[in-house]
């Protein structure tokens, strides 16, 4: 009763100006509205699915896809299931994005450093590159490269260099090492990995020795030698024991009445145009990030390094870059993500990436389920890049004082 009277004779801040009440009201109203909106959207879609007899659910994943995929890095047959086909398409996107990221970073760093070059012509050329390639839509660039490939002569009259490099309007074919069987392929993969890891360990050990003792140790040279050496030794050992080369090099050759190219590795025109376009476009953004990172390193650092007698390259490699990396990494990761997402333009130039295959799949499978799957795939890729970036960022961060 006393409480009631207290409520009735409430003399404090008016309700409509009471901060806590307003905050709670905002939260409840916005949360409620969002839930209602999302529910309305999906319930309506659910209703439409039932009314219009649109298929739904995920049972289609085990069914045979029955549609060819233009180009695939994993082995694929039309009789494979939908689930596997999505995996094949996702692999295409992942491979394109990894190759693209590596090449775009290399080109971007070169151009970003060129932007800061003391050489007037070099810096202006780099500026022209950046201003042109980042201001033109990627789609236009992709079409440009794609139609350049299409304008090449057909396979029958295509260019052949050294009897092994085929260039024609279907793409570019190069010789490719092929292991005799899957087991040997895995052995080579493991060896390559072991070689690279051993090379890195040697490099780090020598670099540490160089830093600690000042003794010149050539870490890059010895690291590379270790990697190459491991490969060479095992190759010779396998040759000696098995009596035959552990892998054969398959050369592309024109065959059959339609002059199809068999053997080797053929990168279709769509894939090449996609990679060239993505790399040149993304490199222009990376160049600006690299430039901003390098300019963020204090001038005193450069001057001190020069006073110590470091060469131009040594200055960049040992003083400027390690410090610039901290500024560069976060926006660089977001460029990697952009490259991955931009690879979804592949459909425009006929390359079968995840989005393009998913688009085709919606004709024979429930679109809602397909969309959920590809959204999850892209979100997973974003997360993977963010995670890798954050880990690396932690590694290059200034630790302690």
Partner 1 sequence: MMTDNGDITTASVIAPPRSEVGVIGWLRTNLFSTWYDTTMTVISLVVVVWLMWFGLTWAFGDAEWRVIGTLGGQFIIGQFNTESACPGQNCFWRPQVGLLLATIVLGMAWGVAGGGTAKKVALAVAVVAAVMSLIPYSFERMGMDVRILLVANIPAVFLGLAITRYTPWREVKHVAIVGVASFLLTLFLLRGVEGLPGMHPVSVIHWGGLMLNVLLAVAGIVLSLPIGIGLALGRRSQLPVVKLLCVAFIEIFRGVPLITLLFMSQVLVPLAFPENFPQNSLFRAAVVITLFSSAYMAENIRGGLQALHPGQAEAARALGLSGWQITFLISLPQAIRNVIPAIVGQFIALFKDTSLVYIIGMLDVVEIGRAFIQGNPEYLPSARELFIFLAIVFWIFTYGMSYVSRRVEDHLRVGTR
Q: What distances in angstroms separate CA 25 from CA 32, 33, 183, one per listed residue?
A: 10, 12, 64
Q: What distances in angstroms separate CA 328 from CA 248, 362, 367, one per listed residue?
A: 42, 40, 39
Using rule CB under 8 A, residue 110 touches partner 1: no
Q: Distance (Å, rounded) from C-alpha 24 to C-alpha 361?
A: 45
165, β-bridge pairs = 161
* Closest to 361 in 3D by CA, of 349, 353, 352, 370: 370
* Closest to 150 in 3D by CA, of 277, 269, 276: 269
- State which residue, 65 or 378, has the beta carbon closest to partner 1: 378
Residue 381 and residue 318 in contact, taking contact as beta carbons nearer than 8 Å: no
Q: Distance (Å, rounded) from C-alpha 142 to C-alpha 339?
A: 13
Query: Exactly one of 75, 118, 243, 309 binds partner 1 (CB under 8 A); which one?
Result: 118
Residue 194 and residue 203 in contact, taking contact as beta carbons nearer than 8 Å: no
254, β-bridge pairs = 261
Residue 343 and residue 79 in contact, taking contact as beta carbons nearer than 8 Å: no
Binding span for partner 1 by CB under 8 A among 8-16, 156-164, 223-231, 371-379: 371-379
- State which residue, 150 or 184, has the beta carbon closest to partner 1: 150
- State which residue, 170 or 345, has the beta carbon closest to partner 1: 345
Largest Cα span, the chain: 101
Using rule CB under 8 A, residue 119 touches partner 1: yes
Using rule CB under 8 A, residue 265 touches partner 1: no
Using rule CB under 8 A, residue 159 touches partner 1: no
Distance of CA 344 to the CA centre of its chain: 12
Question: Site map for partner 1, 20-39, x if CB under 8 A?
Answer: ---x--xxx-xx--x-----
Query: Exactly one of 3, 16, 52, 212 binds partner 1 (CB under 8 A); which one?
Result: 52
Query: Exactly one of 348, 364, 392, 396 binds partner 1 (CB under 8 A); which one?
Result: 348
**How many residues line the site for partner 1 (CB under 8 A)?**
57
| Minimum CB–partner distance for residue 27 and partner 1 (Å) | 4
Question: Site map for partner 1, 133-152, x if CB under 8 A?
Answer: --xxxxxxx-xx--xx-xx-
Residues contributing to the site for partner 1 (CB under 8 A): 23, 26-28, 30-31, 34, 40-42, 44-45, 48-49, 52, 54, 117-122, 125, 131-132, 135-141, 143-144, 147-148, 150-151, 312, 341-342, 344-345, 347-348, 355, 358-359, 362, 367-368, 371, 374-375, 378-379, 382
């Amino acid at each position: 009763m006393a409480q009631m009277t207290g409520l009735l004779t409430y003399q404090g801040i008016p309700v409509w100006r009471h901060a806590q009440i307003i905050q709670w009201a905002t939260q409840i109203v916005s949360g409620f509205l969002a839930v209602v909106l999302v529910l309305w959207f999906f319930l309506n879609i659910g209703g439409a699915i039932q009314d219009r007899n649109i298929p739904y659910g995920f049972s289609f994943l085990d069914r045979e896809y029955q549609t060819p995929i233009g180009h695939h890095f994993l082995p694929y047959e039309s009789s494979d299931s939908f689930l596997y086909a999505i995996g094949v398409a996702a692999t295409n996107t992942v491979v394109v994005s990894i190759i693209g990221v590596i090449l775009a970073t290399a080109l971007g760093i070169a151009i970003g450093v060129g932007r800061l070059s003391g050489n007037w012509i070099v810096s202006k050329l780099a500026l022209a590159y950046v201003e042109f390639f980042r201001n033109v839509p990627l789609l236009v660039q992709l079409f440009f490269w794609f139609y350049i490939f299409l304008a090449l002569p057909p396979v029958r009259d295509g260019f052949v260099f050294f009897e092994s490099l085929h260039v024609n309007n279907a793409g570019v074919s190069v010789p490719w090492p092929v292991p005799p069987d899957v087991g040997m392929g895995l052995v080579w993969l493991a060896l390559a990995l072991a070689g690279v890891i051993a090379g890195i360990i040697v490099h780090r050990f020598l670099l540490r020795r160089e830093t600690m003792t000042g003794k010149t140790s050539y870490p890059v040279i010895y690291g590379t030698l270790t990697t190459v050496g491991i490969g060479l030794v095992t190759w010779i050992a396998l040759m000696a024991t098995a009596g035959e080369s552990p892998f054969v090099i398959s050369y592309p050759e024109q065959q059959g009445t339609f002059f199809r190219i068999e053997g080797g590795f053929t990168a279709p025109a769509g894939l090449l145009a996609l990679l060239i376009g993505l790399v040149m476009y993304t490199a222009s953004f990376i160049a600006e990030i690299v430039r901003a990172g390098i300019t963020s390193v204090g001038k005193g650092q450069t001057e001190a390094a020069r006073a110590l007698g470091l060469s131009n390259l040594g200055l960049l490699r040992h003083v400027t870059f390690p410090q610039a990396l901290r500024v560069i990494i976060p926006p660089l990761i977001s460029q990697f993500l952009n490259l991955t997402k931009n690879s979804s333009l592949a459909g425009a130039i006929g390359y079968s990436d995840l989005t393009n295959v998913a688009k085709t799949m919606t004709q024979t499978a429930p679109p809602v389920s397909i969309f959920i799957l590809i959204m999850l795939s892209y979100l997973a890729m974003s997360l993977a890049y963010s995670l890798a970036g954050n880990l690396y960022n932690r590694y290059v961060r200034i630790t302690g004082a």
